[in-house]
Amino acid sequence: MGEKRYKKRLIFLVLLVLLVVFFYISGMKEYLSFDKLKAYRTDLFVFVHQHFLVSIIGFFVIYILIASLSMPGAPILAMAGGFVYGVFQTTAIVNTAATIGATIAFLLSRYLVGDWVQNRFKDKLQTFNRQFEQDGVYYLLTLRFAPIFPFTWINLFCGLTNISMVTFLWTTAVGILPGTLLICYTGSQLGQINSPEDLLSPGIWIAFILLSIFAFLPVVYKKLKR
């Protein structure tokens, strides 16, 4: 029974790898770049204006796929959304899609590897699991708020822990909200941006610094609570 389950997971993993490989060799990655976004921003705006509902559904589904399969290009996609849909509408769409995608990646990580890790190193992970069960919310919020920790790595790492899906889901939704808002706002300024360097305006730098400081609030709260 265990061998059959292992084979199913292996087949599923191979299919995921093939899907990611196809993403790269098909050239789709090239379209999720700043240069392409800048070159086609007018065409993109016209298409969205003519096919508003279809474009939103497509945007939402594509974002979930990118987030769940840990593919690159999510920030560029969020910026594109900020440009054509506006800051707040795109923030709501991206935050929801990213949370769903992250949860799928989390479950895939747990299904493919996490259960095996927990069973294989059960004794060695007892202290870690107990600590993470007690303070996992604070750790996750800190990781999500801080812009220096890769979104994808956090999803995959959490799948190896014993944290519940519900906790992972809501901390992700809350934790990525400030960063999502910032990226969507940056995208809304795309009409005034001609190079990647223009993205790093003083206001954006200040926002990132404040976001980094904000990331430590969950840890500070935990210390004060005790």
Could you read off the pLDDT of 214-224 as tens digits, one per residue? Answer: 667 766 666 66
Q: Looking at 113-194, list the stretches that DSSP marks H as alpha helix, in order from N- to C-terminal side.
A: 115-120, 126-145, 151-159, 165-175, 177-188
This prediction's pTM: 0.78
Angstrom distance (rounded) from CA 215 to CA 148: 10
Q: Return the residue matching tokens 């790492």.
A: 157
Q: Copy the structure tokens of residue 145.
A: 């708020």
Residues in the chain: 226
Lowest-confidence segment of 48-57, 160-169, 209-218 by average pLDDT:
209-218
Cα–Cα nearest to 217, from 158, 131, 145, 133: 145
Q: What is each CA distance from 167 to 70, 106, 141, 193, 222, in whole angstroms? A: 20, 12, 10, 38, 16
Residue 18: Cβ within 10 Å count: 10
For the ranges 138-142, 172-176, 198-202, the maximum mean pLDDT occurs at 172-176
Mean pLDDT score of the chain: 79
Contact 133, 168 (CB under 8 A): no
- For the chain, domain boundaries: 32-225
